[in-house]
Every structure is written in structure tokens, then in C-alpha cells.
Structure 1
Amino acid sequence: MTTSPEQEDSKLVEMAWDPITRIVGSLGIYAKVDFAERRVAECYSTSSIFRGYSIFMKGKDPRDAHFITSRICGICGDNHATCSVYNQNMAYDVRPPHLGEWIINLGEAAEFMFDHNLYQENLVGVDYCEKMVRETNPGVLSQAERTPAPHAGEHGYKTIADIMRSLNPLEGEFYREALQVSRSTREMFCLMEGRHVHPSTLYPGGVGTVATVQVFTDYLTRLMRYVEFMKRVVPMHDDLFDFFYDALPGYQEVGRRRVLLGCWGAFNDPDHCDFRYQNMADWGRKMFVSPGIIVDGQLVTGNLVDINLGIRILLGSSYYDDWVGQEKFVTHDPLGNPVDERHPWNQHTIPHPQKRDFTDKYSWVMSPRWFDGKDLLALDTGGGPLARLWSTALSGQVDIGYIRATGHSVMINLPKTMTLPEKTFEWKIPMWNGEPLSNALERNRARTYFQAYAAACALYFVEQALAEVRQGNTQTWAPFTVPEEAVSVGFTEAVRGVLSHHMVIRNGKIANYHPYPPTPWNASVRDMHGTPGPYEDAVQNTPIFEENPPETFKGIDIMRAVRSFDPCLPCGVHMYLGKGNELRTLHNPHAFTTL
């Protein structure tokens, strides 16, 4: 890597963190850091792996779709299976029994609790632990030692530094406790869906789970322990994240971008959801997580039909050839609305491997955008929870006792548990100086609150499921037939955000199938109009607060910005740094290897 004389004068240094992942090691962040101005000047997000599911799904029996697409991911495979089942329900015009839907909701709620807990406490939490702060901001750690935790009486940690120490990998008290919690939440999932993370009991038309009072009681006992856990976790994280705002003035700009959020909704209400496209706008609004698109803090639409029709898949800087002029699978949706050529129903995947070039093509990730009638918006998911809570709050539709959306916030009521009294938390739409705020800390904060939200929803779902069983309504599956022709879509939320599966059936086989999980939205690259993707946008102009010089720079503020979206995290991160015409590889034996 080289720098120009102008870059030398401004101390503009090219750096790379590659990979930044949890699963396949394919996410890389390439940035130019201006050490004179203490900010990131430029950022590119890359992916080095091609999956090709949209290609080999063609010609398959549509009944196999959820088993195949579950293998897209080893972390959120059940979210793909669920979305594919929703998609098939629409294609086959089948409505599962109520109990089957409550079981799916309970399984997905357990997945949210499991994954968000594991990520927040054992992965992203490391970025805020005592060891990391000591190595990147020793002045901040010194202040944390002197700062009492405002909610110490609720979570048990006297100072902010005590919270940070509890997050230290392997040795931290809270870090180890969270690992145990992830075990019990995974057990909850398996009680409902058979196997984690590729469910064995999910099918179109319902589930194969044997529904008994005992299985729901086993789920509930674990759920109540989780509820008690969350009564300590929410105030603990509030204390930690609020401290960073106080300790580092201006930290609200780390990972900040314009509020452009998308949520496709989650947890169907079987009283309203019939999976028919013609009724999708109505049953979509009845979800227990409200779908919606948020622009500059305001709800633009909560209509799933509008959301579906507005999706556009752009190419831009990705390694694919355009499909303009290829066969158009769907000209109009089932309601007669015209469908754009760049909609997933009409997408053709034409891979074109080539050398990485940041002035042209540099990633395997395409660039999904949402068209509002005027602009192609680079929506992000806020890591999942930020968009979900924001959309639910503004929609004001959810009111189930444990959860109430107020129109400007979400009230979460957790009942009395073994050692702790009833507790109510309120997630409020984040603002800064009168402006809506989407940044690294608020994405992380929302993840904590959504764990409590998912637990509260699960309390309601298990009550409904038990009521069905006690009334003798134990059927969990409804029969169906596969049509010769169909156009369908499934909408839900994966852990990290929006998930949709789009399918076209011809002659009883899959003619076109495109799954769109949160990663293409969040990790998308510069599109054909030059608009950067959310990772790129959030990192560009992020200020640098780390105290280390370029030679020992870890990039912790950059990492916090990227990880706040809940991408796949690292097996290991390799960093290199260039000055002048000399390429050097920097190895710091004292670096904290979890980065």
C-alpha cells in the first residue's frame, strides 16, 4: 500500500482489518485513517466469498427450500428456515394451526435471546472490556475506576471499571455467566424446533413438535431464569454505554450515519396471519414486531406490500454482470402492481470473478436498496434490534400486556421472578441535540433492550400455547399441495435484521429463488450511483478516540462501529499499514488477540 505526499502531510494511513467475521472469514474493512484530523477519511467493505444459493436452488422441489436455505448460515439457519416456511405457506396457500405458529414464535424468540446474549456479552462486549479499554484508552479506564455505576444496586457492580472487568474474556464474572445463559436459551430453542441451528421440526403448514404441557413448562422454567438475568443486564449496559458518552465527548459520532432503518417484522399473530399476499398489508401490521421503514427518524411505511415492491437489487461495485435484458419472471404481483426488473423476483445471479479494484469492483456482496418513489435508499438494520424497536415504537400497534408500543417508545414489563420484583423498562427513540441518533452505542443498547423484548414476547406466546393445549387444540400442522405455478415471498427478522425469501414456482419446481438476509443490506458496497453501503457509510468520518499512535493502532473505534451492526466476527484480524512506497506488515506480539 502506498500514500501520496499529500497523504503523508495529513498522516493519511491506509489500513485493513480482514477478516472481521464469526463464520466464514469473508468480511474485510479497508480504510484510510487521517491521524492529523483523528478521523476515518474513507472506507470500503469487502466480502471474499461467493455462495451461489440463488443459482443451485433452481429446479429444486420447493418443499426442500427450508432445509437447503437453512444451511446458508451456521448461526441464524433457523431464521432462514422460518422465512422459507413462511414463503412456502404463501405459495401453497396453507394456514398453519394456531399452536404451530405459537411454537415457531417461541423458537424464534429463543433464538433472539440466545444469539443476542452470546454476541452482546461474549463477542462485542470484548470491545468494551477492561483489557481492551486499558490497551486503547488508558485514560478512560482511569476515569472508569473513579466513576460509580448509577444502577449498582440493580446489577451489583460498584464502578464502571467493575463492569468492564466483568466483561473480560474467559475470566470476567459476567462473561462466564452469559455463556451459561446461552446454553439454557439454546435448550429453549431445541424444545420448540428440535435442533439448533438447523431445525428438524419446521415445515410448511406448521411444525412437527409434539405439543404437551410438559414441553412448554420446560421452556417456561428456563425463560423465567432468563427474565431474572435481564433485570440486571439492561441497567448494567445502560451504565456502561452512558459512561462512554460522558468520558469521551463527541463519541456519539462513532459509527453514526443518517437514520435509514428497515424492519420486515417478526412473530406472526395466528389470529390474523393467513400468509396470503393479498392480505399481507393487514396481517403484517399485526406482527408482534412491527414492520416499517424509518427515514430520518420517521416511519415512512409499515405496509409489507409496499416494502416488498420497493426492494431493488443493484450491482455497482460487486463481482457480477448485470441481468438487464434477461427473462423477467414476474411482471405484476398478485395484487396487480407492476414489479421492477431489479426486484428479487426478477433477479438473475451472474457471477464474474475478478481482481479486487477499489475504483471498480471489490466485493461479492450486492447492493440492496429500497426505492421510496424518488431515491434509492441504503437502508441498514441497526444491527437488527435498533430498527425493530424503532419501527415497533412508531407503529404503536403492539399491546399484549408484557409489551406496549407507545408511538414514541416501547414499554417492556418483566414479571416477578425468584429473587427480583416486577420490573418495567422503557426503550426510547435515541436523540442527540434534537436529532434522531443511529450510532454504535445505540445499536448496542437496543440489542440489550430487545433481549428483554423477546423474553416478554415469549412469556405471552407460551401462555397462548398452553391455552391451546389445555383446550385440546393440539394440532400443529395442516396439509397442503404444491401448485404448478406460484409467486411468493416470506418476511421475517433474522437476528441481525431484515430477512426475505422470494420464490417463483413453475411446473411444480423452483424457477427462481432469492434469499436476502441482513448482511447484503448492511455490508453492501457502493452501488451504481456511488452510494456507499451502511458499514462503509458508518465508518467514514468516524472520529478516532483511541490513544495509540499509528504504529500500535488497533482501530477500536472502527471495530466498534462495524461490530455494532452484528456482522460475522473474527477468527483473527490481520492489520497492515503503508507509508510512502514501502509496504510493511506490522506484528505486535502484545496485541490483544481477540481483536
Structure 2
Amino acid sequence: MTATGPTSREQQAATDSNLVDMNWDPITRIVGSLGIYTKIDFKQKQVAECWSTSSIFRGYSIFMQGKDPRDAHFITSRICGICGDNHAACSVYAQNMAYGVKTPPLGEWIMNLGESAEFMFDHNIYQENLVGVDYCEKMVRETNPEVLELAERTEAPGAAEHGYRTIADIMRALNPLEGEFYREALQQSRLTREMFCLMEGRHVHPSTLYPGGVGTYPTVQLFTDYLTRLMRYVEFMKRVVPLHDDLFDFFYEALPGYEEVGRRRILLGCWGSMNDPDHCDYRYENMSEWGRRMFVTPGIIVDGELVTNDLVDINLGIRILLGSSYYEDWEQREKFVTHDPLGNPVDRRHPWNQHTIPKPQKRDFEDKYSWVMSPRWFDGQDHLALDTGGGPIARLWSTALSGLVDIGGYVRATGSSVKINLPKTATMGERNFEWRIPRYSNALERNRARTYFQAYAAASALHFVDKALAELHAGRTKTWEPFDVPDNAIGVGFHEAVRGVLSHHMVIRDGKIANYHPYPPTPWNASVRDSYGTPGPYEDAVQNTPIFEENSPDDFKGIDIMRAVRSFDPCLPCGVHMYLGNGQTRQVMHTPTAFGGS
């Protein structure tokens, strides 16, 4: 008899027997109901499979229909309690296009100052007080005690800048609630939130943003109050950048192979941010040009190469696929937009033509398992599962490769890097930093980019203050332009939410909203296996991630998996909302008030 080896089915069964199901639902230290379901091969010390899921439904695209389009930014701001202002700004951009109105320069500089403050605020509190806990002394002690021992013996190269002698000292400073740097970062978050409120009135749902401009009253005192806080933040960043460089570089050295944690193919998307009023008129016909003049350059990066930085190309390539999400297809439904204002055909799966038809059902990882759809970008051949890398890595990568940005001597893109100049502050001299395009899109580089983009936002804001004061001193104090709402129109707003790409697509018919679809970064990052079987970015980044944690399976924390997921800065309210299934209804008893309302 001839001996035969095991069949493929037997080999698969043997492999499956080595896999352990481990789930984290919900993921902590983020906003929203994100669940990560995995199969881990502890023998090979590797994640074998991953599913990203969310069990609550989002309905904004449904109840926006029939609303007055002028209310869109106030309503969509409530999509999220974290980045609501980004939604409001993006909605204003979409409305400006639909109404044919251009914001006066001073109004645009005020919006840019508000959005810059939001980048500084949100990245700071997330990096230091939420994701930073993954790298603090207490966490490393619980998951990699040998790494902590090495950190105690490792001098921090940037100690003279940030003040911490060893890497372990940095880790201790990041310990939640008691760590010195942890507490200092909380104080900076207060400053940056105040900066935001000076420009946009209220955090996080702005009260002074409108189509056509802003309602903020501009004075020298207003911009001075902003600037005094900004300079304190600038001084803080001079310590933060070298601190994080030391920390993340140490992990590469302490754990050879750690570059594979959270690593995926380089497929990055950035829609650009902060418009230049000298070029932006919000006309779709001119969008290619004014999009390239943004202070963060839009772009799609595939395998490290810039595919396009043209917002018209980016817009036309967006596709919304379903696959493993709980919705019915809209193939036979009405197509709202057949061609864009330039005459280009618009696909049925484009957001202008999307219909949201929920179909609740039992979760099945072999079929449907999440309320998050699968946005993709079609390059003419493939539907690419772009990610934002948490926002900053895509923004910096796109801006660097395009080489178009030169912000008043504060920020300059070189084609391979972004140079950031922070001027002299109260106790520290000028500092120059350079973010260089990395080899990988992985957990550590996503986190590193977040630190550098904080410095980028601060440096950009210095320029915006200069420009706003110049307008004021020249007597050009107009911040808002009147407009009329057309009976029929389309609009699109492109912006960057803190954690990545943000677009709002709107269709107006008979003066009312006929179709409206906001697409923030989380649906892109948390998307599920699409109709072609392509996993979403969270799933892709976690699958094949190696396990470096020293704990046994019985005491496994999953720290490497958590670092991979949290490096994307998940924020699920922007992807999902609420569903009460099995025919249940939610009943709320209203008591009349003294004013006769409820």
C-alpha cells in the first residue's frame, strides 16, 4: 500500500483544533459598541482570523430626508459627541456647494482655527489619556514584564527635551490618573477645548457655524485669547514629539518583529482639510484645483504611491458595498444623480445614490454580522478597502507625497516628508521636527503620526491667526455671505474628521433634502467583509498580527490586538446607532411642561 498524507480537510481540522476563540466586545477606551472577534493560534503566537462587528444601527441618512437643508449641519453634528464639529463643518462645505456661496476669508480663517483646535484637543486626549494607557508602566508590567525590565535600563535619547531619564520613566508618567504626563495632558485638553469654543462657540456641537460663513464676532482680543493658549500648547508639543519617538522606537528595539503588529497593506485615504479662502470657491467645477490648495492635501495612497490628489477623482471613485452588513441592496431603487456637474457618470453605489434599507437579523460570521457597511474606493479595477490609519498617518503621507503644502514658514511638505517648525515659546527655543514617510502602516506608526500631526495642527494654527489678524487690521471684517436655497441641487463636502476621512453628500429636491449620506472614518476603518469577500481594515490589521504578550492563554489580555485596533482611534457612533429588534417598541412617557411642550 502507498502511504498518503492527510487531506486538506484533515489539515484544516488539525489547524482549527489549535485555534482559540477570543472576543473583546465592547472594546474599551473608545466611544461606541465595537466588538472584535478572533481565532488565535497560541502555538504559532498569531491571530488567525478576525471579525469586526457593531450591533447597533445608524439612521441619519433616513431621517435627514425631507428636512430643510439649512438644518443639516445642526442635525449631523449630533452624529457624534466627539467629532460633532467636524460633521458640522463638512455639512457646511456641502451646503456651500449646493447653494453656490463662498465664505468670506475671515470666516474661513475662523473655521480653520476652530478645526485646528479640535485636532489638537482630540488627538491629545486620545493619545495620552486613552491609547497611551496601552504603553504605560502598569500595562507593560501586566503583559510584558521582561520588556519593562529592559525599559528600566534603557536611557531615553530625548531626555533633555522631555525630562524623563529612562523609557520606564516615560511609561510611569503615562499611568492613568497618577502619571505626571497623563495629568499634564488633561490640562492641555482643557486649553485646546477653550481655543475651540473661542472660534466655534460650543464644544462639540458648534453654535456659530453656518453655510456662507460663521457667526463668530472677530476682535483682536478674540485672536489674542486663542494665541496665548496656542503658544502654551506649542511649548507642550516640543516635549511630546521626542517623548513619543523615544517610546515607540523602544518597542521596535525591545520586541524584534513588533512592526508586524497591526500592519496591513498601505491603502490610505485622505480627503484633505482646512480650505484656503484665496482659492476655495466651493464650486464642484473647480474642486480639483481648490482641493489641492487645502492646508492638508487630499490623496489616495496605494502601496506607498500617490494614486491621485484630485477631489473629483476621489469623489467619483467612492462606492458603498454591503456584503456582510445588515442591509438590503438598493439595486432597483431610484438613482438620484446620473452625472456630476462636470458631466462624469455617477455610479449607483455612490453616496449620492445610496439608499439605506436596514434588514436586522441574527449575527452570522459566515454571512451577515454587523451594522457597518463597507465603503470602498474603486480604482477602475479593484474596490480598495482604504483606511485612514486613525487619520494622521494618511494626512501626513498624502501631504508629504504631493509636496504642495507650504504654510507660512511653519509647515512644508517635501515630497518624502513633512517639516514642522515650532517657534520660540516662553521657556523653550525654536524646534524643528520632520515626519518622514515610514516603511510600514502599523500600530506604532499610526500612533507616532498622531503626535506629529498635533504639532502640524498647532503650527498651522499659528499661520491662521496671522492671516485672521491681517484681515481684521485691513478692515475686512465680514464673516458671512447671504445665500438662497435652490429648488434642486447637489453638494458634497470633503473634510477630515479627527480620525480620518469625512464626506457629506447631499441631494436637494423641491427645496428639501431628498438624500443625505455622511461618511466618517469609522465606516471605512470598521467596515466588514464586502461583497467581494475583502475584509475591512480593522479585520485585516488584526489578522496575522503576532502575539508578543507573555501571559498564558488563561490570563491573556490581548494587548497586541488592542494596540492594533486602538491605533486606528475607533469612534463607533459615527458608524452605527440603535436598533430594538423582535418587534419591540420603545415607549417614553412625556409629561407636559408649564409651557405646554413635551
User: In the alignment, residue 399 of structure 1 is paired with which amino acid?
Assistant: D
Give the structure 2 partner of residue 165 of structure 1: 172
Q: Does 1:511 align with 2:514?
A: yes
Give the structure 2 partner of residue 133 of structure 1: 140
Alpha-carbon distance between aligned partners in 2 of 1:46 and 1:365, rounded to the nearest angstrom: 7
Q: How far does residue 49 in structure 1 lie from its aligned partner after superposition?
A: 1.0
Q: How far does residue 328 in structure 1 lie from its aligned partner after superposition?
A: 0.3
**Judging changes above 3 Å, is the alpha-carbon distance between structure 1 residues 416 and 332 closer, same or farther for their aligned structure 2 residues?**
same
Give the structure 2 partner of residue 405 of structure 1: 413
Q: How far does residue 180 in structure 1 lie from its aligned partner after superposition?
A: 0.3
Alpha-carbon distance between aligned partners in 2 of 1:549 and 1:230, rounded to the nearest angstrom: 38
Q: How far does residue 269 in structure 1 lie from its aligned partner after superposition?
A: 0.1
Give the structure 2 partner of residue 548 of structure 1: 551
Alpha-carbon distance between aligned partners in 2 of 1:330 and 1:7, rounded to the nearest angstrom: 49
Deviation readout 1:411-460 (Å, 9 max, x if unpaired): 000000000000000000002xxxxx100000000000000000000000
Deviation readout 1:16-70 (Å, 9 max, x if unpaired): 1000155653100000010000000000000111120000000000000000000
Give the structure 1 partner of residue 356 of structure 2: 349
Q: Does 1:417 align with 2:420?
A: no
Secondary structure of 1:30's counterpart equals: strand
Give the structure 1 partner of residue 587 of structure 2: none
Contact kept in structure 2, 1:21 and 1:567, CA below 8 Å: no
Contact kept in structure 2, 1:404 and 1:411, CA below 8 Å: yes
1:535 to 534, 538, 541: 538
1:109 to 108, 112, 116: 116
Q: TM-score, normalised by structure 2?
A: 0.93
User: In the alignment, residue 176 of structure 2 is paired with which amino acid?
Assistant: P
User: In the alignment, residue 242 of structure 1 is paired with which amino acid?
Assistant: D
2:294 to 287, 294, 298: 287
Contact kept in structure 1, 2:471 and 2:477, CA below 8 Å: yes
Mapping 1:398-477, distance limit 5 Å: 398-400=405-407, 401-431=409-439, 437-477=440-480
Give the structure 2 partner of residue 378 of structure 1: 385
User: In the alignment, residue 387 of structure 1 is paired with which amino acid?
Assistant: A
Q: How far does residue 244 in structure 1 lie from its aligned partner after superposition?
A: 0.2
User: In the alignment, residue 241 of structure 1 is paired with which amino acid?
Assistant: F
Secondary structure of 1:293's counterpart equals: strand
1:481 to 468, 480, 484: 484
Give the structure 2 partner of residue 392 of structure 1: 399
User: In the alignment, residue 20 of structure 2 is paired with which amino acid?
Assistant: V
Contact kept in structure 2, 1:20 and 1:569, CA below 8 Å: no
1:559 to 559, 562, 578: 562
Contact kept in structure 2, 1:501 and 1:515, CA below 8 Å: yes
2:529 to 518, 526, 529: 526
Alpha-carbon distance between aligned partners in 2 of 1:204 and 1:48, rounded to the nearest angstrom: 34
Contact kept in structure 1, 2:116 and 2:461, CA below 8 Å: yes
Deviation readout 1:175-210 (Å, 9 max, x if unpaired): 000000000000000000000000000000000000
Secondary structure of 1:36's counterpart equals: coil
Alpha-carbon distance between aligned partners in 2 of 1:309 and 1:21, rounded to the nearest angstrom: 36
Q: How far does residue 568 in structure 1 lie from its aligned partner after superposition?
A: 3.1
Q: Does 1:30 align with 2:33?
A: no
Alpha-carbon distance between aligned partners in 2 of 1:52 and 1:166, rounded to the nearest angstrom: 42
Deviation readout 1:478-502 (Å, 9 max, x if unpaired): 0000000001100000000000000
Number of equivalent positions: 561
Give the structure 2 partner of residue 490 of structure 1: 493
Secondary structure of 1:416's counterpart equals: coil
Alpha-carbon distance between aligned partners in 2 of 1:299 and 1:355, rounded to the nearest angstrom: 41
Alpha-carbon distance between aligned partners in 1 of 2:294 and 2:325, rounded to the nearest angstrom: 34
Q: TM-score, normalised by structure 1?
A: 0.93
Secondary structure of 1:42's counterpart equals: strand
Structure 2, unaligned runs of 5 or more: 1-11, 574-598
Q: What is the identity percentage for the equivalent residue pairs of Structure 1 and Structure 2?
A: 83
Deviation readout 1:97-130 (Å, 9 max, x if unpaired): 1000000000000000000000000000000000
Secondary structure of 1:538's counterpart equals: helix
Q: How far does residue 510 in structure 1 lie from its aligned partner after superposition?
A: 0.3
Secondary structure of 1:109's counterpart equals: helix
Secondary structure of 1:233's counterpart equals: helix
Give the structure 1 partner of residue 8 of structure 2: none
Give the structure 2 partner of residue 577 of structure 1: none
Alpha-carbon distance between aligned partners in 2 of 1:151 and 1:74, rounded to the nearest angstrom: 36
Alpha-carbon distance between aligned partners in 1 of 2:103 and 2:299, rounded to the nearest angstrom: 25
Mapping 1:68-107, distance limit 5 Å: 68-107=75-114
Alpha-carbon distance between aligned partners in 1 of 2:403 and 2:131, rounded to the nearest angstrom: 30
Contact kept in structure 2, 1:21 and 1:568, CA below 8 Å: no
Mapping 1:3-42, distance limit 5 Å: 6=14, 9-10=17-18, 12-20=19-27, 25-42=32-49
Alpha-carbon distance between aligned partners in 1 of 2:258 and 2:30, rounded to the nearest angstrom: 29
Give the structure 2 partner of residue 67 of structure 1: 74
Give the structure 2 partner of residue 151 of structure 1: 158
Give the structure 2 partner of residue 568 of structure 1: 571
Q: Does 1:197 align with 2:200?
A: no
**Judging changes above 3 Å, is the alpha-carbon distance between structure 1 residues 466 and 284 closer, same or farther for their aligned structure 2 residues?**
same
User: In the alignment, residue 39 of structure 1 is paired with which amino acid?
Assistant: Q
User: In the alignment, residue 557 of structure 2 is paired with which amino acid?
Assistant: K
Secondary structure of 1:249's counterpart equals: coil
Secondary structure of 1:514's counterpart equals: strand
Contact kept in structure 1, 2:30 and 2:569, CA below 8 Å: no
Deviation readout 1:538-580 (Å, 9 max, x if unpaired): 000000000000101000000000000001399xxxxxxxxxx
User: In the alignment, residue 412 of structure 1 is paired with which amino acid?
Assistant: I
Give the structure 1 partner of residue 276 of structure 2: 269
Contact kept in structure 2, 1:22 and 1:569, CA below 8 Å: no
User: In the alignment, residue 568 of structure 2 is paired with which amino acid?
Assistant: F
1:253 to 260, 267, 274: 260
2:129 to 122, 138, 142: 122
Contact kept in structure 2, 1:392 and 1:398, CA below 8 Å: yes
Contact kept in structure 2, 1:563 and 1:569, CA below 8 Å: no
Structure 1, unaligned runs of 5 or more: 432-436, 571-595
Contact kept in structure 1, 2:31 and 2:570, CA below 8 Å: no
Contact kept in structure 2, 1:121 and 1:178, CA below 8 Å: yes
Secondary structure of 1:174's counterpart equals: helix
Alpha-carbon distance between aligned partners in 2 of 1:330 and 1:139, rounded to the nearest angstrom: 59
Moved over 3 A (4+): 21-25
Alpha-carbon distance between aligned partners in 2 of 1:25 and 1:59, rounded to the nearest angstrom: 28
Q: How far does residue 389 in structure 1 lie from its aligned partner after superposition?
A: 0.2
Give the structure 1 partner of residue 181 of structure 2: 174
Secondary structure of 1:386's counterpart equals: helix
Deviation readout 1:492-526 (Å, 9 max, x if unpaired): 00000000000000000000000000000000000
Alignment RMSD (CA, Å)? 1.1
1:225 to 204, 223, 232: 232
